[in-house]
Chains A and B, each alone.
Chain A
Amino acid sequence: MSVDTATVAKIASLARIKVTEGELEAMVPELNGILNWVEQLGEVDTSNVEPMTAVIPNTLRLREDVVDADPLTGGGKREEVLANAPVAEHGFFGVPKVIE
Protein backbone atom coordinates (compact mmCIF):
# COMPACT_ATOMS: atom_id res chain seq x y z
CA MET A 1 0.00 0.00 0.00
CA SER A 2 1.24 3.48 -0.66
CA VAL A 3 -0.08 6.89 0.23
CA ASP A 4 -0.59 9.87 -2.06
CA THR A 5 -0.78 13.57 -1.32
CA ALA A 6 -4.51 13.46 -0.65
CA THR A 7 -4.12 10.60 1.84
CA VAL A 8 -1.33 12.36 3.70
CA ALA A 9 -3.45 15.51 3.83
CA LYS A 10 -6.29 13.43 5.30
CA ILE A 11 -4.02 11.84 7.92
CA ALA A 12 -2.59 15.23 8.87
CA SER A 13 -6.11 16.55 9.28
CA LEU A 14 -7.05 13.57 11.48
CA ALA A 15 -3.90 14.17 13.54
CA ARG A 16 -4.71 17.90 13.80
CA ILE A 17 -1.40 18.99 12.33
CA LYS A 18 -1.48 21.82 9.82
CA VAL A 19 0.79 21.11 6.86
CA THR A 20 1.74 23.27 3.90
CA GLU A 21 1.66 22.03 0.30
CA GLY A 22 5.45 21.88 0.30
CA GLU A 23 5.52 19.82 3.50
CA LEU A 24 2.94 17.44 2.05
CA GLU A 25 5.05 16.87 -1.06
CA ALA A 26 8.10 16.10 1.06
CA MET A 27 6.20 13.76 3.40
CA VAL A 28 4.68 11.51 0.74
CA PRO A 29 7.93 9.75 -0.29
CA GLU A 30 9.17 9.63 3.32
CA LEU A 31 6.01 8.00 4.60
CA ASN A 32 5.91 5.61 1.65
CA GLY A 33 9.49 4.59 2.34
CA ILE A 34 8.61 3.71 5.92
CA LEU A 35 5.28 2.05 5.06
CA ASN A 36 6.82 -0.09 2.30
CA TRP A 37 9.48 -1.21 4.76
CA VAL A 38 7.04 -2.16 7.55
CA GLU A 39 4.92 -4.08 5.06
CA GLN A 40 7.34 -7.03 5.30
CA LEU A 41 5.41 -7.96 8.45
CA GLY A 42 2.70 -9.25 6.11
CA GLU A 43 4.88 -12.26 5.27
CA VAL A 44 4.78 -13.56 8.87
CA ASP A 45 2.21 -16.31 9.44
CA THR A 46 0.22 -15.11 12.45
CA SER A 47 -2.90 -17.19 11.87
CA ASN A 48 -2.83 -18.79 15.34
CA VAL A 49 -1.21 -15.95 17.24
CA GLU A 50 -2.92 -13.66 19.73
CA PRO A 51 -1.97 -9.98 19.49
CA MET A 52 0.06 -8.86 22.48
CA THR A 53 -1.87 -6.86 25.05
CA ALA A 54 0.56 -6.80 27.99
CA VAL A 55 4.28 -7.37 27.61
CA ILE A 56 4.61 -8.44 31.25
CA PRO A 57 1.56 -10.36 32.52
CA ASN A 58 -0.32 -8.00 34.75
CA THR A 59 -3.74 -7.81 36.34
CA LEU A 60 -5.34 -4.42 36.59
CA ARG A 61 -5.73 -3.26 40.15
CA LEU A 62 -8.66 -1.48 41.73
CA ARG A 63 -8.11 1.18 44.33
CA GLU A 64 -10.31 2.00 47.29
CA ASP A 65 -13.32 4.03 46.15
CA VAL A 66 -12.58 7.00 48.36
CA VAL A 67 -12.11 10.69 47.58
CA ASP A 68 -8.48 11.86 47.51
CA ALA A 69 -7.09 8.36 48.14
CA ASP A 70 -3.83 9.84 46.87
CA PRO A 71 -3.87 13.60 47.54
CA LEU A 72 -1.39 14.12 44.69
CA THR A 73 -3.93 12.96 42.13
CA GLY A 74 -7.06 13.87 44.07
CA GLY A 75 -9.29 16.89 43.84
CA GLY A 76 -9.01 20.50 44.99
CA LYS A 77 -6.12 21.27 42.64
CA ARG A 78 -7.64 23.89 40.38
CA GLU A 79 -4.80 26.39 40.67
CA GLU A 80 -2.19 23.70 40.00
CA VAL A 81 -4.14 22.33 37.05
CA LEU A 82 -4.48 25.79 35.50
CA ALA A 83 -0.95 26.92 36.35
CA ASN A 84 0.46 26.08 32.89
CA ALA A 85 -2.58 26.92 30.77
CA PRO A 86 -1.81 29.31 27.90
CA VAL A 87 -5.07 31.11 28.74
CA ALA A 88 -6.90 30.64 32.03
CA GLU A 89 -9.94 32.78 32.86
CA HIS A 90 -12.20 32.75 35.89
CA GLY A 91 -10.83 29.38 36.98
CA PHE A 92 -11.37 27.74 33.59
CA PHE A 93 -9.32 26.96 30.47
CA GLY A 94 -9.89 29.65 27.87
CA VAL A 95 -10.49 28.58 24.24
CA PRO A 96 -11.77 30.30 21.11
CA LYS A 97 -15.55 30.46 20.76
CA VAL A 98 -16.93 27.02 19.80
CA ILE A 99 -20.68 27.75 19.77
CA GLU A 100 -22.05 30.25 17.25
Chain B
Amino acid sequence: MTDLTELGVAQIRDGVKAGDFTAVEVAEAFNANVAAAQEALNAFIVATPEMALDAAKATDAKRAKGEDLGKMGGVPIGMKDLFATFDVQTTAASHILEGFKPQYESTVSQNLWNAGAGMLGKLNLDQFAMGSSNETSYFGNVISPWRKAGSNAQLAPGGSSGGSSAAVAARLAPAATGTDTGGSIRQPAAFTGTTGIKPTYGRCSRWGVVAFASSLDQAGPMARDTRDCAIMLEAMAGFDPKDATSLDMPVPNWEELLSADLSGKTVGIPREYRMDGMDAEIVALWDQGVAWLKDAGAKVIDISLPHTKYALPTYYIIAPAEASSNLARYDGVRYGLRDLPEGANLQDMYAATRAAGFGDEVKRRILIGTYVLSAGFYDAYYTQAQKVRTLISQDFQKAFEECDVILAPTTPTPAFALGENVDDPLSMYLNDVFSVPASLAGLPAMSVPAGLSKDGLPLGLQIIGKAFDEQGVLNAGLALEQRAQFTAKPEKWW
Protein backbone atom coordinates (compact mmCIF):
# COMPACT_ATOMS: atom_id res chain seq x y z
CA MET B 1 0.00 0.00 0.00
CA THR B 2 1.22 3.51 -0.78
CA ASP B 3 2.46 5.64 2.08
CA LEU B 4 -0.48 7.99 2.48
CA THR B 5 1.71 10.67 4.03
CA GLU B 6 3.51 11.07 0.70
CA LEU B 7 0.26 12.34 -0.82
CA GLY B 8 -0.70 15.97 -1.21
CA VAL B 9 -4.04 17.74 -0.84
CA ALA B 10 -5.41 16.97 -4.33
CA GLN B 11 -4.35 13.32 -4.19
CA ILE B 12 -5.91 12.79 -0.77
CA ARG B 13 -9.12 14.58 -1.71
CA ASP B 14 -9.44 12.60 -4.95
CA GLY B 15 -8.39 9.29 -3.37
CA VAL B 16 -10.89 9.58 -0.53
CA LYS B 17 -13.62 10.52 -2.98
CA ALA B 18 -12.78 7.59 -5.26
CA GLY B 19 -12.62 5.18 -2.33
CA ASP B 20 -8.95 4.27 -2.86
CA PHE B 21 -8.49 4.75 0.88
CA THR B 22 -10.54 6.21 3.71
CA ALA B 23 -10.15 9.59 5.35
CA VAL B 24 -9.59 7.77 8.66
CA GLU B 25 -6.64 5.88 7.18
CA VAL B 26 -5.16 9.19 6.03
CA ALA B 27 -5.67 10.86 9.41
CA GLU B 28 -4.15 7.89 11.26
CA ALA B 29 -1.09 7.93 9.01
CA PHE B 30 -0.45 11.64 9.56
CA ASN B 31 -1.23 11.43 13.28
CA ALA B 32 1.47 8.76 13.55
CA ASN B 33 4.01 10.96 11.74
CA VAL B 34 3.15 13.94 13.94
CA ALA B 35 3.71 11.92 17.12
CA ALA B 36 6.93 10.32 15.88
CA ALA B 37 8.55 13.64 14.88
CA GLN B 38 7.49 15.83 17.78
CA GLU B 39 10.55 15.33 19.96
CA ALA B 40 13.03 15.92 17.14
CA LEU B 41 11.35 18.72 15.16
CA ASN B 42 9.07 20.42 17.74
CA ALA B 43 6.79 21.52 14.89
CA PHE B 44 3.60 21.40 16.97
CA ILE B 45 2.72 23.16 20.20
CA VAL B 46 -0.39 21.01 20.66
CA ALA B 47 -1.28 17.87 18.71
CA THR B 48 -4.99 17.11 18.27
CA PRO B 49 -5.08 13.58 16.79
CA GLU B 50 -8.65 12.98 17.96
CA MET B 51 -9.88 16.06 16.08
CA ALA B 52 -8.20 14.87 12.89
CA LEU B 53 -9.87 11.49 13.37
CA ASP B 54 -13.30 12.96 14.10
CA ALA B 55 -13.19 15.08 10.94
CA ALA B 56 -12.05 12.05 8.95
CA LYS B 57 -14.89 9.92 10.32
CA ALA B 58 -17.35 12.63 9.36
CA THR B 59 -15.94 12.66 5.82
CA ASP B 60 -16.12 8.87 5.52
CA ALA B 61 -19.71 8.93 6.79
CA LYS B 62 -20.64 11.58 4.22
CA ARG B 63 -19.10 9.52 1.47
CA ALA B 64 -21.08 6.47 2.57
CA LYS B 65 -24.23 8.55 2.22
CA GLY B 66 -23.15 9.88 -1.16
CA GLU B 67 -22.86 13.49 0.04
CA ASP B 68 -20.47 16.16 -1.19
CA LEU B 69 -17.19 15.93 0.71
CA GLY B 70 -16.10 19.54 0.22
CA LYS B 71 -13.00 21.11 -1.35
CA MET B 72 -10.77 19.67 1.38
CA GLY B 73 -12.79 16.55 2.19
CA GLY B 74 -10.65 14.05 4.07
CA VAL B 75 -7.53 16.25 4.15
CA PRO B 76 -5.94 16.66 7.60
CA ILE B 77 -3.96 19.86 8.01
CA GLY B 78 -1.76 21.66 10.51
CA MET B 79 -3.06 24.96 11.91
CA LYS B 80 -0.58 27.70 12.71
CA ASP B 81 -1.06 28.54 16.39
CA LEU B 82 -1.99 32.10 15.49
CA PHE B 83 -5.54 31.09 14.52
CA ALA B 84 -8.09 30.97 17.32
CA THR B 85 -9.49 27.44 17.55
CA PHE B 86 -12.48 26.71 19.74
CA ASP B 87 -11.46 25.29 23.12
CA VAL B 88 -8.00 24.34 21.81
CA GLN B 89 -5.09 26.26 23.29
CA THR B 90 -4.10 29.22 21.10
CA THR B 91 -0.84 30.87 22.14
CA ALA B 92 0.83 32.71 19.24
CA ALA B 93 3.84 30.83 20.70
CA SER B 94 3.85 33.22 23.66
CA HIS B 95 3.90 32.72 27.41
CA ILE B 96 1.35 35.50 27.85
CA LEU B 97 -1.30 33.43 26.01
CA GLU B 98 -0.29 30.07 27.46
CA GLY B 99 -3.43 28.18 28.41
CA PHE B 100 -5.73 30.50 26.44
CA LYS B 101 -8.64 28.48 25.04
CA PRO B 102 -10.72 30.64 22.68
CA GLN B 103 -14.48 30.33 22.97
CA TYR B 104 -14.81 31.00 19.26
CA GLU B 105 -13.28 29.82 15.99
CA SER B 106 -11.35 32.00 13.53
CA THR B 107 -13.10 32.52 10.20
CA VAL B 108 -10.28 30.94 8.20
CA SER B 109 -10.11 27.79 10.31
CA GLN B 110 -13.90 27.50 10.31
CA ASN B 111 -13.88 27.81 6.51
CA LEU B 112 -11.40 24.94 6.34
CA TRP B 113 -13.45 22.69 8.64
CA ASN B 114 -16.56 23.55 6.60
CA ALA B 115 -14.64 22.41 3.50
CA GLY B 116 -14.02 19.00 5.09
CA ALA B 117 -10.50 19.46 6.46
CA GLY B 118 -9.47 18.13 9.88
CA MET B 119 -6.95 19.46 12.39
CA LEU B 120 -3.77 17.54 13.22
CA GLY B 121 -2.69 20.16 15.74
CA LYS B 122 -1.53 23.71 16.40
CA LEU B 123 1.79 24.53 14.79
CA ASN B 124 4.71 26.28 16.41
CA LEU B 125 5.79 29.70 15.12
CA ASP B 126 7.85 32.73 16.02
CA GLN B 127 6.30 34.45 19.02
CA PHE B 128 3.43 36.65 17.79
CA ALA B 129 4.76 35.87 14.29
CA MET B 130 7.78 38.11 14.96
CA GLY B 131 10.83 36.42 13.54
CA SER B 132 12.38 34.77 10.50
CA SER B 133 13.81 31.59 12.03
CA ASN B 134 11.28 30.27 14.55
CA GLU B 135 13.75 30.98 17.35
CA THR B 136 11.49 33.39 19.27
CA SER B 137 8.83 30.83 20.26
CA TYR B 138 8.24 30.42 24.00
CA PHE B 139 7.73 26.72 23.25
CA GLY B 140 11.19 26.17 21.79
CA ASN B 141 12.77 26.25 18.35
CA VAL B 142 11.33 24.33 15.44
CA ILE B 143 14.09 22.26 13.86
CA SER B 144 14.10 22.07 10.07
CA PRO B 145 13.89 18.52 8.73
CA TRP B 146 16.52 19.59 6.20
CA ARG B 147 20.25 19.31 6.87
CA LYS B 148 23.23 20.37 4.85
CA ALA B 149 24.89 17.48 3.06
CA GLY B 150 27.37 15.89 5.46
CA SER B 151 26.36 18.00 8.47
CA ASN B 152 24.18 17.46 11.52
CA ALA B 153 23.86 21.17 12.34
CA GLN B 154 20.32 22.24 13.15
CA LEU B 155 18.87 24.56 10.53
CA ALA B 156 16.12 27.15 10.73
CA PRO B 157 12.83 26.17 9.07
CA GLY B 158 12.24 29.88 8.43
CA GLY B 159 9.73 32.05 10.17
CA SER B 160 7.39 32.97 11.33
CA SER B 161 5.44 29.99 9.90
CA GLY B 162 8.31 27.63 10.79
CA GLY B 163 6.15 24.89 12.30
CA SER B 164 4.02 24.95 9.16
CA SER B 165 6.96 24.69 6.78
CA ALA B 166 8.71 21.99 8.80
CA ALA B 167 5.51 19.94 9.11
CA VAL B 168 4.78 20.01 5.38
CA ALA B 169 8.40 19.29 4.42
CA ALA B 170 8.66 16.39 6.89
CA ARG B 171 5.34 14.85 5.78
CA LEU B 172 3.67 15.50 9.12
CA ALA B 173 0.85 17.24 7.24
CA PRO B 174 -0.04 17.48 3.56
CA ALA B 175 -0.66 21.20 4.04
CA ALA B 176 -0.78 23.83 6.75
CA THR B 177 -2.03 27.33 7.28
CA GLY B 178 0.48 30.14 7.44
CA THR B 179 0.28 33.88 7.92
CA ASP B 180 2.45 36.42 6.18
CA THR B 181 3.16 39.91 7.51
CA GLY B 182 6.52 40.55 5.83
CA GLY B 183 7.32 37.16 4.31
CA SER B 184 6.28 34.66 6.96
CA ILE B 185 4.74 32.24 4.44
CA ARG B 186 7.17 32.66 1.55
CA GLN B 187 10.50 32.63 3.41
CA PRO B 188 9.80 29.42 5.39
CA ALA B 189 8.43 27.80 2.22
CA ALA B 190 11.68 28.68 0.41
CA PHE B 191 13.80 27.31 3.27
CA THR B 192 12.02 23.94 3.30
CA GLY B 193 11.30 23.13 -0.34
CA THR B 194 7.57 23.73 0.06
CA THR B 195 5.10 26.00 -1.73
CA GLY B 196 3.23 28.87 -0.11
CA ILE B 197 1.10 31.76 -1.28
CA LYS B 198 0.17 34.98 0.45
CA PRO B 199 -2.99 36.20 -1.30
CA THR B 200 -4.03 39.82 -1.86
CA TYR B 201 -4.53 41.66 1.43
CA GLY B 202 -8.15 41.08 2.43
CA ARG B 203 -8.73 37.75 0.63
CA CYS B 204 -8.59 35.78 3.88
CA SER B 205 -10.40 37.11 6.92
CA ARG B 206 -8.24 38.26 9.81
CA TRP B 207 -11.06 37.60 12.27
CA GLY B 208 -9.79 35.30 14.99
CA VAL B 209 -6.15 35.57 13.88
CA VAL B 210 -3.91 36.89 16.66
CA ALA B 211 -3.01 40.36 15.38
CA PHE B 212 0.60 41.41 14.73
CA ALA B 213 0.49 44.25 12.17
CA SER B 214 -3.07 44.54 10.96
CA SER B 215 -2.42 46.45 7.73
CA LEU B 216 0.00 43.70 6.63
CA ASP B 217 -1.21 40.42 8.19
CA GLN B 218 -2.65 37.99 5.68
CA ALA B 219 -3.28 34.25 5.91
CA GLY B 220 -2.45 31.76 3.20
CA PRO B 221 -1.79 28.07 2.53
CA MET B 222 1.50 26.18 2.64
CA ALA B 223 1.63 22.85 0.83
CA ARG B 224 3.70 20.64 -1.44
CA ASP B 225 2.75 22.20 -4.75
CA THR B 226 0.86 24.91 -6.57
CA ARG B 227 -2.34 22.94 -7.16
CA ASP B 228 -2.60 22.08 -3.46
CA CYS B 229 -2.13 25.75 -2.58
CA ALA B 230 -4.87 26.74 -5.04
CA ILE B 231 -7.31 24.24 -3.53
CA MET B 232 -6.60 25.25 0.05
CA LEU B 233 -6.67 28.97 -0.69
CA GLU B 234 -10.14 28.55 -2.23
CA ALA B 235 -11.25 26.95 1.03
CA MET B 236 -9.66 29.62 3.25
CA ALA B 237 -10.64 32.77 1.36
CA GLY B 238 -13.93 34.62 1.24
CA PHE B 239 -15.75 37.72 2.36
CA ASP B 240 -16.24 38.07 6.11
CA PRO B 241 -18.30 40.97 7.46
CA LYS B 242 -16.48 40.57 10.81
CA ASP B 243 -13.24 41.87 9.25
CA ALA B 244 -13.49 45.52 8.16
CA THR B 245 -10.74 45.00 5.56
CA SER B 246 -12.16 41.77 4.13
CA LEU B 247 -12.54 41.87 0.33
CA ASP B 248 -16.17 41.71 -0.72
CA MET B 249 -15.44 39.76 -3.90
CA PRO B 250 -16.26 36.25 -5.06
CA VAL B 251 -13.52 33.62 -4.60
CA PRO B 252 -12.38 32.47 -8.06
CA ASN B 253 -12.02 28.81 -9.01
CA TRP B 254 -8.26 28.99 -8.88
CA GLU B 255 -7.67 25.27 -9.18
CA GLU B 256 -9.95 24.78 -12.17
CA LEU B 257 -8.37 27.72 -14.01
CA LEU B 258 -4.75 26.67 -13.42
CA SER B 259 -2.72 26.90 -16.61
CA ALA B 260 1.04 26.75 -17.09
CA ASP B 261 0.76 28.27 -20.57
CA LEU B 262 2.10 31.82 -20.21
CA SER B 263 1.70 32.82 -23.88
CA GLY B 264 0.84 36.50 -24.09
CA LYS B 265 2.01 37.15 -20.53
CA THR B 266 4.85 39.46 -19.61
CA VAL B 267 7.15 38.81 -16.67
CA GLY B 268 9.01 41.72 -15.07
CA ILE B 269 12.49 41.35 -13.57
CA PRO B 270 13.09 44.14 -11.04
CA ARG B 271 16.63 45.43 -11.45
CA GLU B 272 16.75 46.77 -7.88
CA TYR B 273 16.45 43.21 -6.52
CA ARG B 274 19.84 42.38 -8.03
CA MET B 275 21.87 43.53 -5.07
CA ASP B 276 25.59 43.84 -4.52
CA GLY B 277 27.14 40.79 -2.94
CA MET B 278 24.20 38.56 -3.73
CA ASP B 279 24.72 34.82 -3.34
CA ALA B 280 25.86 33.49 -6.76
CA GLU B 281 23.59 30.47 -6.39
CA ILE B 282 20.57 32.69 -5.91
CA VAL B 283 21.49 34.76 -8.98
CA ALA B 284 21.91 31.61 -11.06
CA LEU B 285 18.55 30.26 -9.87
CA TRP B 286 16.88 33.53 -10.74
CA ASP B 287 18.37 33.42 -14.27
CA GLN B 288 17.16 29.84 -14.57
CA GLY B 289 13.68 31.00 -13.56
CA VAL B 290 13.72 33.58 -16.35
CA ALA B 291 14.57 30.83 -18.84
CA TRP B 292 11.79 28.61 -17.52
CA LEU B 293 9.16 31.32 -17.81
CA LYS B 294 10.30 32.13 -21.37
CA ASP B 295 9.98 28.44 -22.14
CA ALA B 296 6.40 28.62 -20.84
CA GLY B 297 5.66 31.28 -23.46
CA ALA B 298 6.12 34.46 -21.46
CA LYS B 299 7.88 37.58 -22.59
CA VAL B 300 10.45 38.77 -20.06
CA ILE B 301 11.33 42.45 -19.53
CA ASP B 302 13.41 44.50 -17.12
CA ILE B 303 11.41 46.68 -14.75
CA SER B 304 12.30 49.16 -12.06
CA LEU B 305 10.96 49.33 -8.49
CA PRO B 306 12.99 52.37 -7.43
CA HIS B 307 12.05 52.46 -3.74
CA THR B 308 12.97 48.83 -3.05
CA LYS B 309 15.87 49.71 -0.74
CA TYR B 310 13.49 51.59 1.55
CA ALA B 311 11.03 48.71 1.94
CA LEU B 312 12.71 47.06 4.92
CA PRO B 313 13.17 50.22 7.01
CA THR B 314 9.58 51.20 6.16
CA TYR B 315 8.40 47.81 7.32
CA TYR B 316 10.41 48.01 10.54
CA ILE B 317 8.60 51.21 11.45
CA ILE B 318 5.07 50.26 10.40
CA ALA B 319 5.02 46.69 11.68
CA PRO B 320 6.34 47.50 15.19
CA ALA B 321 4.05 50.55 15.40
CA GLU B 322 0.99 48.43 14.67
CA ALA B 323 2.28 45.66 16.93
CA SER B 324 2.77 48.00 19.87
CA SER B 325 -0.84 49.07 19.47
CA ASN B 326 -2.25 45.57 18.89
CA LEU B 327 -0.34 44.01 21.77
CA ALA B 328 -1.63 46.60 24.23
CA ARG B 329 -4.54 44.21 24.77
CA TYR B 330 -2.39 41.79 26.80
CA ASP B 331 -2.93 43.27 30.22
CA GLY B 332 -3.36 40.30 32.53
CA VAL B 333 -7.04 41.11 33.02
CA ARG B 334 -9.14 39.47 30.34
CA TYR B 335 -7.19 36.39 29.27
CA GLY B 336 -3.78 34.81 29.47
CA LEU B 337 -1.05 35.31 32.01
CA ARG B 338 -1.29 37.54 35.07
CA ASP B 339 1.73 38.41 37.19
CA LEU B 340 0.64 40.20 40.37
CA PRO B 341 3.61 40.89 42.64
CA GLU B 342 2.90 41.21 46.36
CA GLY B 343 1.32 44.59 47.07
CA ALA B 344 1.25 45.58 43.39
CA ASN B 345 -1.32 48.04 42.05
CA LEU B 346 -3.02 47.79 38.67
CA GLN B 347 -0.25 49.60 36.75
CA ASP B 348 2.42 47.41 38.38
CA MET B 349 0.41 44.36 37.44
CA TYR B 350 0.27 45.39 33.77
CA ALA B 351 4.02 46.02 33.67
CA ALA B 352 4.92 42.81 35.53
CA THR B 353 2.56 40.69 33.44
CA ARG B 354 3.91 42.04 30.17
CA ALA B 355 7.52 41.71 31.33
CA ALA B 356 6.95 38.06 32.22
CA GLY B 357 4.71 37.23 29.26
CA PHE B 358 6.54 38.66 26.24
CA GLY B 359 9.82 37.40 24.80
CA ASP B 360 12.80 39.64 23.97
CA GLU B 361 11.98 40.16 20.28
CA VAL B 362 8.37 41.02 21.08
CA LYS B 363 9.48 43.55 23.71
CA ARG B 364 12.00 45.02 21.28
CA ARG B 365 9.30 45.59 18.67
CA ILE B 366 6.79 46.98 21.15
CA LEU B 367 9.41 49.48 22.34
CA ILE B 368 10.37 50.51 18.79
CA GLY B 369 6.69 50.88 17.94
CA THR B 370 5.96 52.89 21.07
CA TYR B 371 8.90 55.17 20.30
CA VAL B 372 8.00 55.86 16.65
CA LEU B 373 4.41 56.59 17.62
CA SER B 374 5.28 58.84 20.56
CA ALA B 375 4.65 62.57 20.57
CA GLY B 376 7.39 64.46 18.76
CA PHE B 377 8.56 61.48 16.69
CA TYR B 378 5.31 60.39 15.06
CA ASP B 379 5.70 62.46 11.87
CA ALA B 380 9.42 61.88 11.44
CA TYR B 381 9.06 58.10 11.67
CA TYR B 382 5.53 56.81 11.28
CA THR B 383 4.04 59.35 8.86
CA GLN B 384 7.20 59.33 6.76
CA ALA B 385 7.08 55.51 6.63
CA GLN B 386 3.45 55.57 5.51
CA LYS B 387 4.40 58.04 2.75
CA VAL B 388 7.26 55.85 1.58
CA ARG B 389 4.84 52.92 1.67
CA THR B 390 2.67 54.84 -0.80
CA LEU B 391 5.71 55.26 -3.08
CA ILE B 392 6.53 51.55 -2.85
CA SER B 393 2.97 50.68 -3.78
CA GLN B 394 3.08 53.14 -6.70
CA ASP B 395 6.30 51.52 -7.94
CA PHE B 396 4.41 48.25 -8.29
CA GLN B 397 1.42 49.92 -9.96
CA LYS B 398 3.70 51.47 -12.57
CA ALA B 399 5.53 48.20 -13.12
CA PHE B 400 2.27 46.35 -13.64
CA GLU B 401 1.38 48.71 -16.49
CA GLU B 402 4.12 46.87 -18.38
CA CYS B 403 4.05 43.35 -16.97
CA ASP B 404 1.64 40.77 -15.53
CA VAL B 405 3.78 39.19 -12.85
CA ILE B 406 7.19 39.80 -11.31
CA LEU B 407 9.87 37.14 -10.80
CA ALA B 408 12.41 37.44 -7.99
CA PRO B 409 14.20 35.23 -5.50
CA THR B 410 12.27 34.53 -2.30
CA THR B 411 15.25 34.86 0.04
CA PRO B 412 18.83 36.15 -0.29
CA THR B 413 20.30 32.88 1.04
CA PRO B 414 19.33 29.26 1.69
CA ALA B 415 18.37 28.25 5.25
CA PHE B 416 20.85 29.34 7.91
CA ALA B 417 21.82 27.51 11.08
CA LEU B 418 19.86 28.03 14.27
CA GLY B 419 21.66 30.59 16.39
CA GLU B 420 23.46 32.15 13.43
CA ASN B 421 21.50 35.43 13.43
CA VAL B 422 19.99 35.66 16.90
CA ASP B 423 22.51 38.11 18.33
CA ASP B 424 21.94 40.71 15.65
CA PRO B 425 18.32 41.73 15.05
CA LEU B 426 19.25 43.68 11.91
CA SER B 427 20.92 40.77 10.13
CA MET B 428 17.81 38.69 10.87
CA TYR B 429 15.56 41.43 9.47
CA LEU B 430 17.56 41.50 6.21
CA ASN B 431 16.31 38.01 5.44
CA ASP B 432 13.01 39.50 4.38
CA VAL B 433 14.49 41.92 1.85
CA PHE B 434 12.75 40.29 -1.16
CA SER B 435 9.46 39.46 0.54
CA VAL B 436 8.63 42.68 2.41
CA PRO B 437 7.92 44.96 -0.61
CA ALA B 438 4.95 42.86 -1.81
CA SER B 439 3.60 42.80 1.75
CA LEU B 440 3.76 46.58 2.00
CA ALA B 441 1.84 46.83 -1.28
CA GLY B 442 -0.74 44.18 -0.24
CA LEU B 443 -0.01 42.10 -3.35
CA PRO B 444 -0.38 38.36 -3.86
CA ALA B 445 2.99 36.58 -3.86
CA MET B 446 4.12 32.99 -3.71
CA SER B 447 7.27 30.96 -3.28
CA VAL B 448 7.91 27.87 -5.37
CA PRO B 449 10.77 25.42 -4.68
CA ALA B 450 13.08 25.69 -7.67
CA GLY B 451 16.35 23.99 -6.88
CA LEU B 452 18.97 22.96 -4.35
CA SER B 453 22.03 24.85 -3.14
CA LYS B 454 25.48 23.28 -3.42
CA ASP B 455 24.95 22.08 0.16
CA GLY B 456 21.72 20.34 -0.80
CA LEU B 457 19.34 22.89 0.70
CA PRO B 458 16.15 24.09 -1.02
CA LEU B 459 15.97 27.44 -2.81
CA GLY B 460 12.77 29.24 -3.72
CA LEU B 461 11.65 31.56 -6.49
CA GLN B 462 9.04 34.19 -5.83
CA ILE B 463 6.21 35.34 -8.09
CA ILE B 464 4.53 38.66 -7.24
CA GLY B 465 1.25 39.55 -8.94
CA LYS B 466 -1.25 42.35 -9.33
CA ALA B 467 -3.82 42.89 -6.61
CA PHE B 468 -6.61 40.28 -6.91
CA ASP B 469 -4.65 38.29 -9.53
CA GLU B 470 -3.83 35.20 -7.51
CA GLN B 471 -4.56 33.26 -10.69
CA GLY B 472 -1.71 34.91 -12.55
CA VAL B 473 0.62 34.19 -9.64
CA LEU B 474 -0.47 30.55 -9.35
CA ASN B 475 -0.17 30.02 -13.11
CA ALA B 476 3.37 31.39 -13.24
CA GLY B 477 4.16 29.32 -10.14
CA LEU B 478 2.85 26.22 -11.89
CA ALA B 479 4.98 26.98 -14.96
CA LEU B 480 8.07 27.20 -12.75
CA GLU B 481 7.11 24.07 -10.83
CA GLN B 482 6.66 21.98 -13.97
CA ARG B 483 10.09 22.96 -15.23
CA ALA B 484 11.98 22.89 -11.92
CA GLN B 485 10.75 19.33 -11.26
CA PHE B 486 11.62 19.76 -7.60
CA THR B 487 11.26 16.32 -6.02
CA ALA B 488 13.95 16.56 -3.34
CA LYS B 489 12.85 15.90 0.21
CA PRO B 490 14.73 15.87 3.48
CA GLU B 491 16.38 12.58 4.31
CA LYS B 492 14.61 11.22 7.36
CA TRP B 493 16.76 11.45 10.49
CA TRP B 494 14.07 12.13 13.11
Contact = CB atoms under 8 A, between A and B. Distances in A.
Contact of A42 (B349, B358, B380): B380
**What's the dominant secondary structure at chain A's contact region?**
loop
Contact of B364 (A31, A38, A41, A87): A31
Contacts of A19: 355, 363
Contacts of B336: 84, 86
Interface in B80-123: 99-104
Contacts of B354: 15-18
Contacts of A86: 332-333, 335-338
Contacts of B324: 15
B226 interface: no
Given A18-B355, A72-B104, A56 B245 contact: yes
A31 B368 contact: yes
B19 interface: no
B81 to A, nearest CB: 15
Nearest to A72: B104
A46 B316 contact: no
A3 B305 CA distance: 33
Given A17-B367, A56-B247, A44 B200 contact: no
A49 B395 CA distance: 13
B387 A31 contact: no
Interface stretch (B69-77, B177-185, B307-315): B307-315
A5 B226 CA distance: 50
Contacts of A55: 201, 215-216, 389, 393, 440-442
Contact of A11 (B241, B242, B374): B374
A78 to B, nearest CB: 11
Among A33, A56, A58, residue most surrounded by chain B Cβ atoms (within 10 Å): A56
Interface string A10-47: 01111111110000000100110111011111101010
A96 B347 CA distance: 9
B316 A38 contact: yes
Contacts of A60: 244
B388 interface: yes
B390 interface: yes
Contacts of B390: 49-52
Given A15-B370, A55-B441, A83-B103, A34 B316 contact: yes
A49 B351 contact: no
Contacts of A41: 310, 313-314, 317, 381, 384-385, 388
A96 B314 contact: no
A6 interface: no
B344 interface: yes
A85 B365 CA distance: 26
A80 interface: yes
A93 B426 contact: no
28 contacts: A1-B377, A3-B371, A11-B371, A16-B347, A17-B355, A17-B363, A18-B352, A18-B355, A27-B364, A35-B371, A38-B381, A40-B313, A44-B384, A44-B391, A46-B388, A46-B391, A51-B387, A55-B215, A56-B202, A72-B104, A80-B104, A86-B333, A86-B335, A93-B333, A95-B349, A96-B340, A96-B344, A96-B349
Q: What 10 A-B pairs have minimum CB-CB distances, sorted nearest first? A: A51-B386, A55-B442, A86-B338, A84-B335, A46-B387, A80-B103, A18-B355, A18-B351, A38-B313, A16-B350
Interface of B: 99-104, 200-202, 215-216, 241-242, 244-245, 247-248, 307, 310, 313-314, 316-317, 324, 328, 331-338, 340, 344-352, 354-355, 358, 363-364, 366-368, 370-372, 374, 377, 380-381, 383-391, 393, 425-426, 440-442, 467
Interface of A: 1, 3, 7-8, 11-19, 27, 30-31, 33-35, 37-42, 44, 46, 49-56, 58, 60-61, 63, 70, 72-73, 77, 80-81, 83-87, 93, 95-98
